[in-house]
Amino acid sequence: MTESLLNFTLANTSPMINYGPGLDYEPLGPGGLGVSDIWWLITGEGDDLVYRTTKAGSWLQLDFDGTAIYVYGDMSMPFQVDFDGTFHNGSSIPPGNGAPPGLIWFDEFLSPGGHSLNMTVMETDDPNAEFMFNYTIIANSYPITQVPVPVSFPANDITSSGEWSKSPNGTAATSTTNASLTLPFNGVAVSMTGPLRGEFISYAVSLDAAEPINLNPMGVTSQDVTLFYQSGLDPTQEHTIVVTNTGREEVAIDSITVWQVGASSSSVGVPSAAPTSASSATSANGGHSNIAKIVAPIVAVVGAIILALAVWACTRRRQRRRNFMLSGPFGLRFSRAFRTAQSPAMMSLTTLESKTDQATNATAIPDATAEPQVPVPADVKGAAVVGWNTPSPVYRKEAV
């Protein structure tokens, strides 16, 4: 059966990863080590943080669902791995095998389901040695023919309980204890992202009514943190994720992302009032909604431009007619005043009188001062002045 592989990068800032010893530390060996000692030192700025330690006995722990895991960092200190109760000494990377830079340990071909990783730094004689941890990649395979596609749900659109402050950028935040967000979905994996802003943040995440997972960030301030991630879900079943603020500090959530089977591309989803019966329906609705949101403004702008051009053209045409059209007795006098011998047909004007009256008047009352008239062609209608003012480029093109 064809399988699809979903890889997810879990950064070292995620509360899913535990570091120790912490405040609940128990002394190790004779004399032990006090809680005031520095175990893990966090360096860097923003979202580019490095967790490093120079002390033997420092550990990190991660529970996850997947069929493979890859650990990235840098180390000059030995370490021991406890993976699902089996101990491994040192790196699992054979020397000279062309592994990616920074890969310090991995395990593949795992059985589907939950696993536990615990890495402990060991003693060394090198006083300058240290162990640095950057991130992990969690992989999971699925018996499906399409790679799962992420669909993001802004937190301010998700059903909420309790007092939440919702921002236009999609973030929802609360300082109310037991305030929660609930999202029903279909998919193979789900993650939650948001900023970490305080030292005593605590929240719980439950999936499909399972026992809540309590998470307590270690005082890191960062803007884009994976607050929760779970893979290995059945895409044919409906799932529900609930996040609850269990403390008094502000918990902020930017979005919840669901990896759906059958979605055509990464998009922004719209939570439904009730759980959908199929992930394909959810992804399709989200896709059409996104297309409409993109196409509608474009059509409106193009229509406005076309309308503006039409109004401009009509106004210009009226102005030209107003500037260059003369008729009636005043137009005739104006024409006679500006007509020269070099341009006897400079103006061809009609008066307000009928053609019969014009002929009669011209015969009965000759104008001794008038110059010979140039016959007006029978097809000339109106009083368009040609060549009086400097022609505009438009008229110049028409004349050519």
Q: Enumerate domains of the chain plus CATH numbers.
A: 4-142 (2.60.120.260), 149-285 (2.60.120.260), 325-399 (no CATH)
Average pLDDT on 257-278 reads 61
If you ran DSSP here, which 8-state letter would residue 325 be given?
B
Residues of the chain with pLDDT > 90, as a percent, come to 43
Closest CA to 43 of 224, 220, 226, 198: 220
More confident residue, 290 or 15: 15
Cα–chain center distance at 114? 32
Mean of the per-residue pLDDT values of the chain: 73
Token pair 């879900």 is at which residue?
A: 233
Half-sphere exposure for 107 (CA within 13 Å, toward CB): 19
Read off the pLDDT band of 271 (50, 70, 90): low
Q: What are phi and psi of 234, to 5 degrees?
A: -80, 115
More confident residue, 294 or 115: 115
pLDDT for the residue numbered 6: 92
Buried b (16+ CB within 10 A) or exposed e, 248-274: eeebbbbbbbbbbbbbeeebbbebeee
Amino acid (one-letter) located at 105: W
Alpha carbons 60 and 137: distance in angstroms, whole number: 15
Closest CA to 191 of 139, 142, 254, 282: 254
Q: Give every CB contact of residue 53 below 8 A, 6+ residues apart in sequence.
A: 39, 40, 41, 121, 130, 131
pLDDT for the residue numbered 179: 97
Both tokens of 112, joined, read 């589907």
Q: Are 118 and 82 in contact (CB under 8 A)?
A: yes
With a cut of 50, say whether residue 398 has pLDDT above it. Answer: no
| Range of lowest pLDDT (260-264, 299-303, 332-336, 388-392) | 388-392
Token pair 């240290």 is at which residue?
A: 130
With a cut of 60, say whether residue 222 has pLDDT above it. Answer: yes
More confident residue, 13 or 383: 13
pLDDT for the residue numbered 347: 42
Alpha carbons 352 and 334: distance in angstroms, whole number: 14
Alpha carbons 170 and 224: distance in angstroms, whole number: 13
Number of C-beta neighbours around residue 177 at 10 A? 13
Residues of the chain with pLDDT > 70, as a percent, come to 61
With a cut of 90, say whether residue 176 has pLDDT above it. Answer: yes
Average pLDDT on 92-105 reads 79
Q: Are 152 and 287 in contact (CB under 8 A)?
A: no
More confident residue, 26 or 138: 138
Closest CA to 131 of 61, 69, 57, 78: 78
Amino acid (one-letter) located at 18: N
